[in-house]
Structure 1
Amino acid sequence: MSASTPISYAQFATWVQDALNHLYDSPRLQDHPLAGLLAERSATRVQRGQTLRRLLINAILSMAPEPGTPAQSPDWRAYRILELHFIEGQTPAQVMRALGLGRTLYFKEKARMVEALTQVLWEQHAERFALDEAQADALPQNGLEELTSIQARVEHLNLGQVLDELCAMMMPLAQAKGCMLVCAPAADLHVRADRVLLRQAIVDVLGHVLEMSDTLSLTLAGFTDARSRGVRISIQPTPAHAALPASALALATQLMRLMGGEVTVQSGEIHLRWPAEDAAAKTLLVIDDNAGLIQLFRRYLTGHAWRVIGAGNLAEALAVAAETTPDAVVLDVMLPGQDGWEALRTLKSHEHTRRAPVIICSVMHQPELAAQLGAAGYLKKPVTQAQLLQALASLA
């Protein structure tokens, strides 16, 4: 069905439910009526399936509660139902055990969240349907701008456990493709990443590789060396062409960037890597209610011996500082409901932050006032990577 053919909401909802239930079944998604509706008209069959999977996963991730919402709140519980069941592939029984839910509440909350997700996708479809042909032709082709609203929840992950779970999940698909999937041990190898985003990045790469008809075996392994650590995907036989085009790795690349990592390709191997954590690395606490700026600074400082942690307000920052004792602080003075200048004075007197130099980062231009109140530097938004590095270098 083409994007220009009107359909009912009831039919659309039925298609969404079916596509969610077959999220990692590539042949099913490639021929799915929802893919024909939401993908670009010029997309190939494979691209339609990839687009549909990406749209569904991004829609689920976009429903995560706002930062600061208590982890035990009903909103988080409802979101986790979608995340665990559809993205991570857990059975209803496993999700109920993980979240401590009874059968009735589980299915009630799941139905409510699927309906909310369907509404999100329906509105996106309605907006696209309303565009004329000229506007439609001007739309971005990859849709990756949707990822800018996603906030990575970075934590220390046991990479071996993540890879073992993914191998078990992807094994049936690999076997159906006539490919042998091997998971090499990665015991005691930890990375700082968002578990859901990392899983999706790996799954997306594996999905693309499995579409290569000449792939006989895949090895999924953790690795570490003097400069980096992460996931290695080895392809046999080594493709005669350049493995995968950059466009095929676009989603994984964006997801890795959200977590401070990168994707690199060499003959027969794809690496999802992070810089090795330097024992001498310093901690930068960024206090800003804009999660996107925190992610931007994390990307700016990848490979520069700085570890970035974020906080959306002063109270959260002080709680984080009590656990990490930051080496430096970047502070936005335009915090919602708070006077950033008072926050600066608090940071300069608090036991866990008083020794850390504070750099003011704001759309305002008040460097003299900042200096008078004890700031060690001033950055005016928008901030470039060079400006941030120069400000941090001046603290040494």
Structure 2
Amino acid sequence: MSHALGIIEYTMESERHGRFLARARPEWGQNLDSTVLHQQQKQIREALNHLHDPAFLRKSPLAAAFGVSARFDTPVAIRSILVSAIEALQPQPEEPPGSRAWEVFQSLYYRYVEQFSQDEVANQMGISLRQLRRLQQSALEALTYHLAEQFHLQPNSPLEASPEPPATAAAPHGEDELDWLKTSPPEETTDLSESLPAAVELLRPLARQRSVSIEMVLEEHLPHIVAHPAAVRQALLNVLTVAVLNAPPGADAPVRIVASLARDQVQIRCEWKSPAPVQQSNAEDQQKLQFAQRLVELCSGKMQVTTAGRVSKAQFTFSALGQRQVLVIDDNAQALQLLQRYAAGTRYRVVGAQSAPEALALLRSVVFEVIVVDVMMPGTDGWTVLANLRQSPSTAAIPIIVCTVLPQRELALSLGADDFMQKPVSRQLFLDALDRQLASHPLPS
């Protein structure tokens, strides 16, 4: 992630208001007219407020200003540029937590990248709505200067839409066609009980032309997979097309597709007989398979193609939705709801407990793979909870993450915690911490 703090300097305008201003390099600070700045900020704010509205973004003056008006995926490109610009405002790790620089970054990140409501952002940051609005105004100013620096926008004129280039503009490379998937909401999931039969039905006319039969086996009650439906559908179609085109005719050699659950993952296997290893197929088939693999990778899945004898096999592996149980112990109901929202649409299912006795009752009835513990709780605090969990034979081996506003990483780790997160915690930080624990504490075979 790039950092803009070397470009954008943060200064205090006055002690009384504590107003946090963003200044770009000296020449920008001297040349940028306040009326122009206001107009630029307005256009950027409007785009941020419509970040997932393709129709609005396509008509935005930012399309021409950012040089993406010729692209077929203009809304996706604008969204990606704005999100990257916000991420560029993230302070360096050595910046003290709770500093004004972190507040400016978080006020934009939570609101527009994480898509929190204003109330949720204020609660997460522990400030009033009035304070948040003032903070976001300063943050928007910093963001405007950063974008002006990045795209060499004229300091003496507002962002204006330039004439659309002709429709014959050069088409983007194949990878650009997947930009929409790179910026898709992480909560996207796919129901294979619907998408797999639909993909097979699309292939049946081609299969009939080739006199190839298709058999499909779906395990009952499969969970949704954490992947975009359109990406899964196209990846399946690409692989099935290669299978149908290379399988011999006749009912005795069908293309067979099987979907099943293996622990927290869903596997989809497509098998067919072929006269030669699939790796030796023609260039067009290879392109289909490569594109399918890229689609799967962008959904954080895996795809492997092999040939054994005369049987070729393509296997997809995706994370199953909500199959990894995570216990979060925190007396703050809103904090619990926030982490549950973070886990929505992922392989994790967050179960909340607001006290030590409630957590103990849940641990007797549910098998959890990770436990997240707050420290500042009434009654039994998090340090006591951590000690009890480590001393109990039934929970001693479960990885524990301490999550608190207190800067006590060393203490937490010395008392037996496996990881530490200091609040406020972003969605990515939370999920990365869970991923690390599952990677270092795999389930027994």
Question: Normalising by structure 1, what TM-score?
Answer: 0.40
Question: Normalising by structure 2, what TM-score?
Answer: 0.37
Rg bigger for which structure? 2
